[in-house]
Chains A and B, each alone.
Chain A
């Protein structure tokens, strides 16, 4: 089935992915974190012991399912292509930036949309930064930015990340080696089988539809093409209906318990870095997982960069903290972005600019 030959089918892909996210939120994933790539990579990094923040450690089957779903559907439909060699270490750094920027804001672009659909006005503020970041990336593209072409690689190379993901799943199911949070966001999750099936379905539909949050805005700015934005729009509408129906729609800034903060400048700058890095890397965090699943070793390296970036975010105290309610005093304690996180975001943006304007297309190549 060609999901992309009409806007209706693209919208259908967004609806399916929205239903998956809504189901996972209903069955136990944290509020407004129904399906967040950065948060779930951070949790999985914690499960592997890459960081030691005890409240965010859990091998999220959604991440495993996304990669495997993309891998299986691309093999089944003969779209699997093992490719590699387009500035892998630069992509690793861009992956780190994707994770650090997202965790400062508290969510990847996918979760930003989910938070927006729940009325979280902080996410609407962050959207400004994300659009500006994508716009800056588009400007760099127009100025000749390129990380060079990828080449066909050994067939097994592209299958390595899916195999590693399968390995994490086996460890999670058959051993006690992985860490698992007893409290906090990491302890809140839908049943494993449901999360895995959700990830597989989401991954398959995202692969077929080419769902990408950065790409959707890039295409609008660059070509006035709204195809990819149609998917995001329908995803948003499904989550909006879900949130209204379940009473989770609260249009406000300071809402305790939804894992968000109102540090607007840093929400904007965090998502600016994410939008910018996503255009340079050729896709948002979700898209990187999908591309890795369909055989791109370059995207697999970007995913590894996200794992390290997520781990560093917690090891070095870069991640934002959510506004919370003090159980004893019943006072609202404002969340925010620590100084280390602010410095990190500024460094990330500078690095994006260096990468964007130091990597040019070679004439005649």
Chain B
């Protein structure tokens, strides 16, 4: 079982935004992966982007470039 670590978790207004984020990050080789939105963040069942804490600036840059609006940027154990 994967050990939980403190990670950056970006949540979005729509699932499509999360999918767009995955595509953009893959294109820019920014590390991370799609995860279900952690229950501690939301009772909804959407998708979120999970990345190492060190990637905050890279993530913000990708979202700015691609016009992807975030719902929230959280640090939590994933």
The chain A residues found within 8 Å of chain B, CB to CB, are 2-5, 74, 79, 81, 86, 141-142, 144-150, 207, 210, 212, 215, 219, 222-223, 225, 227-228, 282-283, 287, 291, 294, 360-361, 363-365
Q: Contact check, B69 vs A365: say whether CB atoms are below 8 A apart.
A: yes
Q: Contact check, A361 vs B36: say whether CB atoms are below 8 A apart.
A: no
Which residues of B, 30-59, contact A by the 8 Å Cβ criterion? 33-36, 38-40, 43-47
Residue from the list A147, A150, A212, A225 in contact with B35, Cβ < 8 A:
A225
Chain B interface extent, by class: 20 to 34
User: Is B25 in contact with chain A by the CB < 8 A criterion?
Assistant: no
User: Is B19 in contact with chain A by the CB < 8 A criterion?
Assistant: yes
Q: Which residues of A contact B28 (CB under 8 A)?
A: none
Q: Contact check, B19 vs A210: say whether CB atoms are below 8 A apart.
A: no
Q: Contact check, A228 vs B43: say whether CB atoms are below 8 A apart.
A: no
Q: Contact check, A74 vs B43: say whether CB atoms are below 8 A apart.
A: yes
A306 and B77 CA atoms in complex are apart in Å by 38
- 22 sample A-B contacts, Cβ–Cβ < 8 Å, listed by A number: A2-B39, A3-B39, A4-B39, A74-B43, A86-B14, A141-B15, A146-B15, A146-B16, A146-B17, A147-B14, A149-B14, A210-B43, A215-B45, A223-B33, A223-B36, A282-B15, A283-B45, A287-B45, A360-B16, A361-B19, A364-B68, A365-B69
Q: Which residues of B contact A210 (CB under 8 A)?
A: 39, 43, 45
Nearest residue (CB) in B for A222 is B34
Known contacts A228-B36, A365-B69, A282 near B16 by CB under 8 Å: no
Interface string of B1-22 (1 = CB under 8 A from A): 0000000000001111101100
User: Is B72 in contact with chain A by the CB < 8 A criterion?
Assistant: no
A95 and B38 CA atoms in complex are apart in Å by 27
A144 and B16 CA atoms in complex are apart in Å by 5
The chain B residues found within 8 Å of chain A, CB to CB, are 13-17, 19-20, 33-36, 38-40, 43-47, 66-69
Q: Contact check, A146 vs B36: say whether CB atoms are below 8 A apart.
A: no
Query: B53 to chain A: closest CB distance in Å?
Result: 20
Q: Which residues of A contact B17 (CB under 8 A)?
A: 146, 361
Q: Contact check, A149 vs B33: say whether CB atoms are below 8 A apart.
A: no
A2 and B43 CA atoms in complex are apart in Å by 11
Nearest residue (CB) in B for A283 is B45
Query: B26 to chain A: closest CB distance in Å?
Result: 12
Q: Which residues of B contact A4 (CB under 8 A)?
A: 38-39
Query: A315 to chain B: closest CB distance in Å?
Result: 33
Q: Contact check, A79 vs B40: say whether CB atoms are below 8 A apart.
A: no
Query: B38 to chain A: closest CB distance in Å?
Result: 8
Residue from the list B40, B45, B47 in contact with A212, Cβ < 8 A:
B45
